[in-house]
Amino acid sequence: GTDLKIDYNNVDGFNRYPSDLMGEYKQSIEEGLDVEKYKNLFEAVSSLPNGEYKTRLSDVIYEMVMNAKMQSGYKYNEPFSFEEIKALRRSHEFQRSRPDRETLRKKLLGAWTGRACGCLLGKPIECIRSDELIPLLKETGNYPMNRYILSSDITDEVCSHYKFFLKNKPYADTVDGMPVDDDTNYVVLAQKIIEDYGRNFDSKDVATAWMKYQSVFSYFTAERIAFINFINCIEPPASAMYKNICREWIGAQIRGDYFGYINPGNPEKAAEMAFRDARISHVKNGVYGEMFVSAMIACAAVTDSIEDIILGGLAQIPATSRLHEAVMKIFDGYKNG
């Protein structure tokens, strides 16, 4: 017979738990899991060459993480079930003005156009770090950023100053529309989910739609890990947790727009739909992020007050969460000058 030798395909690094064990360690500490005593083990296994032994040892680490207790004195309460989330909300009442059909149409068009405009602004420099971005903007007379980066900014001399690859990107003066992007794909995909399964879709429907409409290479970070979990017959919500070091990243947060669009003035319903979507790939603040954004967009349909939009969104997530605390820190800082 033939000896079976398995080579582990990294698929861009997004589906291989062993390749970022220190990311798992950091994630677990932030979540409040009592794993600090295992730091040396994480570091030792992380330093091993990729292969069978590292993979098997990382399986043991994964089991330890999944069975870890919470740190004593951890100050946040971040539940996973929708009913528990609802119980920890802090309500915010505000004046709502229901728009007429044409005003709502304009607001929706503005939301979708704004989404595309924002994505185009960042797309050519996605993944650049601030230590190169800020000098680039200063060198091209665009700091603080007040316009799109143009292809005319990106001369050979400018490129020679940076490690980040700047050539042949979709700059605003070289495109005739918004290029394909995972952020905008999710808005269209959400509409397909509603068309196929209705407003009462469940998380399993979302997973099915993902596999039906896009390949694995359309997904990144937590979403790609979840997609691979679906294919391996791991259903939501376990798909969000199984070897997913990106489980509180912002992937779900970029998927929530459409649920805000179709629930104007009803942030609670928008957040509930966002919850059903988010839980296939994220946990805790990863889920709350999508709920927050969807609820804000639902609020924006019926008020132009930025403060009410932010607080109305926050009213749909646990007031006991890290995300709530972080947003309020910025909000309070603004209010205090």
pTM reported for the whole predicted model: 0.94
The DSSP string of 103-119 is HHHHHHHHHHHHHHHHH
Residue 157 CB burial class (10 angstroms; 0-12, 13-18, ≥19)? exposed
Residues 111, 102, 186: CA angle, nearest 5 degrees: 30
Query: Do residues 17 and 65 make contact, with C-beta atoms less than 8 angstroms apart?
Result: no
Query: Do residues 43 and 24 make contact, with C-beta atoms less than 8 angstroms apart?
Result: no
Which pLDDT score is estimated for 136?
Answer: 98
Which pLDDT score is estimated for 252?
Answer: 98
- Tell me how far apart the alpha carbons of residues 8 and 15 are, in angstroms, rounded to a whole number: 10
Which pLDDT score is estimated for 15?
Answer: 65
Backbone angles phi, psi at 70, to 5 degrees: -75, 150
- Amino acid (1-letter code) at residue 129: R
Of 149, 154, 128, 112, nearest to 261 by C-alpha is 112
User: What pLDDT tens digit does each residue of the chain (337 aa) get?
Assistant: 677 777 666 666 666 799 899 999 999 999 999 999 999 999 999 999 988 899 999 999 999 999 999 999 999 999 999 999 999 999 999 999 999 999 999 999 999 999 999 999 999 999 999 999 999 999 999 999 999 999 999 999 999 999 999 999 999 999 999 999 999 999 999 999 999 999 999 999 999 999 999 999 899 999 999 999 999 999 999 999 999 999 999 999 999 999 999 999 999 999 999 999 999 999 999 999 999 999 999 999 999 999 999 999 999 999 999 999 999 999 999 999 9
Which pLDDT score is estimated for 247?
Answer: 97
Which pLDDT score is estimated for 4?
Answer: 79
Provide the CA 107 distance to its chain's centre, in angstroms.
Answer: 24
Which pLDDT score is estimated for 200?
Answer: 98
- Tell me how far apart the alpha carbons of residues 307 and 93 are, in angstroms, rounded to a whole number: 12
Helix, strand, or coil here: 9? coil
* Tokens (6 digits) for 130: 């601030």
Which pLDDT score is estimated for 195?
Answer: 98
- Helices 322-335 and 284-300 cross at an angle (nearest 10°) of 50
Residue 319 CB burial class (10 angstroms; 0-12, 13-18, ≥19)? middle
Of 192, 233, 247, nearest to 33 by C-alpha is 247
The contacts of residue 286 (CB under 8 Å, 6+ apart) are 222, 240, 246, 247, 248, 249, 250, 251, 252, 253, 278
Q: What is the largest CA-CA distance in the chain?
A: 74
Which pLDDT score is estimated for 143?
Answer: 97
